Amino acid sequence: MSESLSALIEQTQGRRDATWHDFSVHVINEAWGSLVVAHQGAQLLHFAPKGQRNWLWTTPTPKPAPGAIRGGIPLCWPWFGDADTAGEPAHGRARTATWRLDAVDEHEEGVELHLTPTEPLDSQLTPRVVIQANAKRLNVELITEHTGDTPTSFTQALHTYLSVDDAFDVRIEGLAGARYLDKLEGFKEKTQQGELGIRGGLDRIYHSSRPLLLRSGSAQRRIAKQGSDSSVVWHPGDQRPGDIPAEESTHFVCVEAACTQLDRVWLAPGSQHLLSQHLSLEE
């Protein structure tokens, strides 16, 4: 029986390497708060300012390694959604690849982590991740550098699972009037009427770069981003994947900062793109 993420954090003073369900993770528990990042996928699994619960939701029953971990902030890279090529995984290679923790810069107020993949994940594009956390906010950056010779394009997402009390009682503000592709209706194009609530299964790509406000019970969270004109909102409703226990299925909603078929990123050799997502409490 593997220990829970909260047990690993309770047993950590400062920072250390640990194992969670066969996944190698780095655990930080400091005066400002705590976080856990997995080497698989550079995936942040937990972030909580001191005294608060995890802002992210992570399944307590992940598929065995090297299966994709459901929860936290998976990286979809260098493509979002299904692969164009047979045999390639959905959401790209980054989330099941091994990443190295190159640097941990700790300071009194928080921490900054730098991660890079241990093997090339694309013939021309090279990603890196920077995570900045403190008692007030979380910022995750996915930086893509073109290290090849010919112009190329890609899609991507920071596929954030936000922890909520009840997914069917949240309101996501900031998308009213936005055009979106409804994946559950064959990518039909529609317009968001009013603010977004979740009533059942939902899988939408909004054409929007605006910051959002997630209202969940008494908590209000601001979700801002850079380098992204697609906001993906996903909840499986009753089509629950096997790695989500029944009692957990309403405890998250995915709000993703993405670049999709609506805003594919083109890069010239030598250039780079920054995608980031920024979570904070609305004051």
* Residues designated as active site: 159, 256
CB-count burial class (<10 Å; 0-12, 13-18, 19+) for 253 = buried
Q: How far is the CB of 174 from ligand G6P (least distance, A)?
A: 18
Q: How far is the CB of 28 from ligand G6P (least distance, A)?
A: 25
Would you say 111 or 167 has its CB closer to ligand G6P?
167
Neighbours of 236 (CB within 10 A): 16
Would you say 59 or 276 has its CB closer to ligand G6P?
59
Confirm or reject binding of residue 122 to ligand G6P (CB under 6 A).
no
Confirm or reject binding of residue 241 to ligand G6P (CB under 6 A).
yes
Q: Where does residue 182 fall: left (phi above 0), alpha (psi -120 to 50 degrees), or beta otherwise? A: beta
Binding footprint of ligand G6P, residue count (CB under 6 A): 10
Q: How far is the CB of 236 from ligand G6P (least distance, A)?
A: 7
**Cis (ω within 30 of 0) for the bond into 151?**
no
Confirm or reject binding of residue 206 to ligand G6P (CB under 6 A).
no
Confirm or reject binding of residue 234 to ligand G6P (CB under 6 A).
yes
Identified binder of ligand G6P from the candidate list 131, 254, 257, 267, rule CB under 6 A: 254
Identified binder of ligand G6P from the candidate list 15, 136, 171, 183, rule CB under 6 A: 183
Confirm or reject binding of residue 77 to ligand G6P (CB under 6 A).
no
Identified binder of ligand G6P from the candidate list 7, 90, 176, 274, rule CB under 6 A: 90
d(CA 54, CA 133): 13
How does DSSP classify residue 109?
A: T
Residue tagged 């923790």 (tokens): 101
Would you say 137 or 179 has its CB closer to ligand G6P?
179
Q: In sequence order, which ranges of the chain are alpha helices (DSSP H)?
A: 5-10
Residues 149-168 within binding reach of ligand G6P (CB under 6 A): 159
* Number of helices followed by number of strands (H, E) in the chain: 1, 23
Say which residues have a Cβ less than 8 Å from residue 166's Cβ, sequence separation at least 6. 216, 217, 250, 251
d(CA 117, CA 128): 7
* Closest CA relative to residue 197, chosen from 223, 222, 216: 216
Confirm or reject binding of residue 203 to ligand G6P (CB under 6 A).
yes
Confirm or reject binding of residue 91 to ligand G6P (CB under 6 A).
yes
Q: How far is the CB of 183 from ligand G6P (least distance, A)?
A: 5
Give the HSE-up count for residue 164: Cα atoms under 13 Å, Cβ half-sphere.
Answer: 24
Q: Where does residue 243 fall: left (phi above 0), alpha (psi -120 to 50 degrees), or beta otherwise? A: alpha
Confirm or reject binding of residue 267 to ligand G6P (CB under 6 A).
no
Q: How far is the CB of 90 from ligand G6P (least distance, A)?
A: 5
Q: How far is the CB of 255 from ligand G6P (least distance, A)?
A: 10
**Contact footprint for ligand G6P (CB under 6 A):** 68, 90-91, 159, 183, 203, 232, 234, 241, 254
